[in-house]
Amino acid sequence: MTAQTQAVGSAASASDSDLYRVVHVITGTDVGGAERVLQSVVQASENRFSRNQVISLAAIGPIGERLIEAGIPVHTVDMKRGLPGPLSLMRLRRLLRRSDAEVIQTWMYHADLLAGLFAGGRPVVWNIHNGNLDAAATRRRTRWVARLCARFSARIPARILCCSAAAREVHVAFGYDAARIQLQPNGFDLAQFSPDPDARRALRAEIGVDEDTPLYGLVARYDPAKDIPNFLAAAAQVHAQLPQARFVLVGQGLEPSHAGFRAMVDAIAGQVPLLALGRRADVARVYAALDVLVLSSLGEALPNVLGEAMASEVPCVTTDSGDCALMVGDTGMVVPVGDARALATAMLAMWQEGPAARRRRGAAARLRVQQEFDIQAVAASYARVHREVIQEAR
């Protein structure tokens, strides 16, 4: 069995008798939306509401390493891509049996299904962070596992937490038990994501952009659901009318060495001044440097990038996917999915409003996150659900 575990002592903010024990099981701990929500919830809950440990089905990735550094025990089943083999299933079963957790919180479809089957009578809480199960934007294997989850959704989980109303609608239509689903929005750390003039200047100097240059940003991974061609087409239209504008892309696969991304850029926006930075560990500094954050996705649930940018006081232009419009409210601009012309028009309009108007939008966006999506309140909400299902199981 391959397992990595590390625990670091830290001062508790609640007595041990007040803390419940939870094991989080997630498909992997690479950098992604659900993974980052897991990290935020665990770190905000540890020693305040609960004692946490994490099991990753796949090898430990950057999020898992950050949790270990924060003192959270993290184990890996070391499951390979594809269908799980018997040894992987035995490792997962053994880790769950050895855990003293009172509740099992799962993240993502594969973890929902497998951890639920090996729960050993303990209550299981599933988590849904995907807002799009269309065949065109979702891998066939993922849809197959989600279909199995739908069939077991009335039997395995005590609760199903869903980060957006749009995602709830998608999954109920897919066959999930509506009676067990309750809304639980993502939370954002306002201390980690905040306006930072020093970071703005430093990041712009690093990428060769001066203070007065219009800087638009896309933070995403290379994935059909993110509709990168939509952003590139809009960027080309913006650049034609605002030649001084620059466009920064951050995320896995968004770098010149990625053949698919490079071909996409050559075909759509070959003459546009793009700064493709790939994956960055300092995404908070990237937000701080932007004038406008752009989300061009075909399908979302409640995307982290919007909440993080809003907390950083960056106004957002987003497609009307998932709960994005509900999330930004009147602090940003919302356009139809897949409409590059509308996206470009909104991007230009956001710049043309002027710096004072963008500052007002940014301040209103941060206030909205503070009131609706603060990680401390979200962690408390998770704790209420966990305590409810533990009590029910008893």
Q: What is the pLDDT of residues 61-70, one digit of tens each?
A: 999 999 999 9
Same domain for 212 and 356: yes
- Residue 249, CA atoms < 13 Å, CB-side half-sphere: 27
In a domain? residue 93: yes
Average pLDDT, the chain: 93
Same domain for 175 and 206: no
Please give the average per-residue pLDDT across 71-78, as a whole number.
95
In a domain? residue 264: yes
Same domain for 180 and 145: yes
Across 166-205, b (16+ Cβ under 10 Å) vs e yields bbbebbbeeebbeebbeebbbbbbbeebebbeebbeebbe
Q: State the CATH number of the domain containing residue 234.
A: 3.40.50.2000
Same domain for 385 and 316: no
Same domain for 140 and 75: yes
In a domain? residue 3: no
Please give the average per-residue pLDDT across 336-364, as a whole number.
98
Same domain for 268 and 239: yes
How many independent structural domains does the chain possess? 2
pLDDT tens, residue by residue, 128-167: 998 888 877 778 888 999 999 999 999 999 999 999 999 9
Same domain for 153 and 204: no
Answer whether residue 299 shows pLDDT above 90: no
Same domain for 208 and 152: no
In a domain? residue 205: yes
Other beta carbons within 10 angstroms of residue 242's beta carbon come to 16
Same domain for 357 and 382: no
pLDDT of residue 14: 63
Same domain for 123 and 46: yes
In a domain? residue 41: yes
pLDDT tens, residue by residue, 150-161: 999 999 999 999
In a domain? residue 6: no
Domain that holds residue 102: 16-187+374-393
In a domain? residue 174: yes
Please give the average per-residue pLDDT across 366-389, as a whole number.
97
CA distances from 129 to 49, 109, 201 (A): 23, 10, 34
pLDDT tens, residue by residue, 249-279: 999 999 999 999 999 999 999 999 999 999 9
Same domain for 221 and 73: no
What pTM, to 2 d.p., does this model score?
0.89
Answer whether residue 10 shows pLDDT above 50: no
In a domain? residue 227: yes
pLDDT of residue 5: 38
